[in-house]
Amino acid sequence: MNNRSLVAIGKIVKAFGIRGDVVILPMTDNIARFKKLKRVFVGASGTAALEMQIAAMQIEQRGVRLRFVNAPDRTAAEKLVGSLLFVDEKDAVRLPKGTFFVHHIVGLNVIDEDGEPIGVVKDVLKYPANDVYVVENKGKELLLPAVKEFVKKIDVDAKTMKVKLIDGMLE
């Protein structure tokens, strides 16, 4: 059993060409972060991911292309399709103050301004204007825009998110 804490940064969506290249769908706002990578962990989950050395990398308009040392041809690359790319959390990019990784948000206990429990964050939806937090509330889903008007404080260490709701949000 390993004690790595991995962060997903992309998903392999298809093989490309005959030399073992794979096309990556980035799961990061900072696509340039791929330029600095020498290795990643590849697998269906963080616990099942294997370390792979990067032989070549190219950032294109449509995304990122990688080639791994131990996937020298299209057949090997095709076996990787559907896998996630992870980096060790200690190697993750540093976020600006007030921003968080999705894996830090999912699982937070949501409370209102009076400290009353609302629910638990189950997912983060990405939209062009802003993210939306999916909060499970008594068997229902509350969609909470990730903006300062609603999200007042996030405390990752205490695993809480303090929010301000408007009339009708819980109905």
Per-residue pLDDT of the chain (171 residues; tens, 9 = 90+): 456 788 888 899 999 999 999 999 888 777 888 888 899 999 988 888 999 999 999 998 778 999 999 999 999 999 999 999 999 888 777 777 878 878 788 899 999 999 999 999 999 888 888 899 999 998 899 999 999 999 999 998 899 999 999 888 877
| β 6-16/21-26 pair status | antiparallel
Instruction: Write down the pTM of the prediction.
Output: 0.67
pLDDT of residue 168: 80
pLDDT of residue 69: 96
| Residue located via tokens 């600095």 | 36
Q: What is the pLDDT of residues 59-73, one digit of tens each?
A: 987 789 999 999 999
77 neighbors 21 (Cβ within 8 angstroms): yes
Largest Cα–Cα separation, the chain: 60
Cβ burial, residue 137 (10 Å; 0-12/13-18/19+): middle
pLDDT of residue 1: 41
pLDDT of residue 2: 54
Q: What is the pLDDT of residues 25-38, one digit of tens each?
A: 888 777 888 888 89
